[in-house]
Amino acid sequence: MKYLTEIDDTLKSILNLAKEQQSRAYAPYSNFKVGAAVLTQSGKVYLGCNIENASYSLTICAERVALFKAISEGHKDIKAIFVIGPQNEPISPCGACRQVILELAKDSTIYLSNSDMTKIIETNAKELLPYGFDL
Ligand code: THU
């Protein structure tokens, strides 16, 4: 896990897409809007935002929406995941997302950003969830 002092233009443009997607979040209960982007090895980008529900536990996180979109379109080759949160510090994915990422995108590079993209952490699935559950 490392803090990046700069990111290249390609990464920046994908992170920007995740930021745009953040505004689509449906988060009337927490008011905590999250955006995500999933980059496949073939160069496709899938976007996601968190979608909440009055029955709170039905809420789904932004990164799982983006990842499930990519997987459901047939991509098994996830190169990178970008997540951007609303706070001043980079977002930290929840445990459920870490478990899902470990299974579906275990070799991906994961970028976690604060709201204005001035603080970005680069990490990976294993680092986010050491000794994760497996069958
Ligand atoms: N959330 C995400 O979408 N991704 C994360 O990494 C952390 C949390 C969402 C779930 C819920 O809608 C809101 O943020 C507050 O927990």
pLDDT of 6 over the 90 cut:
no
Q: Which residues contact 32 (CB under 8 A, 6 or more apart)?
A: 50, 85, 86
Instruction: Give the pLDDT confidence score for residue 5 in this predicted structure.
Output: 84
**What is the number of domains present in the chain?**
1
Q: What is the pTM of this model?
A: 0.98
Instruction: Specify whether 63 is catalytic.
Output: yes
For the beta carbon of residue 56, count every other beta carbon within 10 angstroms: 9
On whether residue 133 sits in a domain, the answer given is no
pLDDT digits (tens, 9 = 90+) for 67-118: 999 999 999 999 999 999 999 999 999 999 999 999 999 999 999 999 999 9
On whether residue 135 sits in a domain, the answer given is no
Instruction: Give the residue among 20, 22, 9 at the shortest CA–CA distance from 86.
Output: 22
pLDDT digits (tens, 9 = 90+) for 14-54: 999 999 999 999 999 999 999 999 999 999 999 999 999 99
On whether residue 134 sits in a domain, the answer given is no
CATH classification at residue 16: 3.40.140.10
Give the CA distances from residue 70 to residues 44, 45, 80, 131, in Å, rounded to whole numbers and listed in that order: 9, 8, 12, 25
Question: Which domain does 109 fall in, by range?
Answer: 2-128
Question: Measured from the CB, is residue 66 less than 6 Å from ligand 1?
Answer: no
Q: Which of 63, 73, 103, 127 is catalytic?
A: 63
Instruction: Give the pLDDT confidence score for residue 22 in this predicted structure.
Output: 98
pLDDT of 134 over the 90 cut:
yes
For the beta carbon of residue 16, count every other beta carbon within 10 angstroms: 15
Q: Which residues contact 22 (CB under 8 A, 6 or more apart)?
A: 33, 34, 35, 49, 62, 84, 86
On whether residue 37 sits in a domain, the answer given is yes
Distance 122 CA to ligand 1 centre (A): 19
- If you take atom 13 of ligand 1, which residue's CA is the nearest one? 32
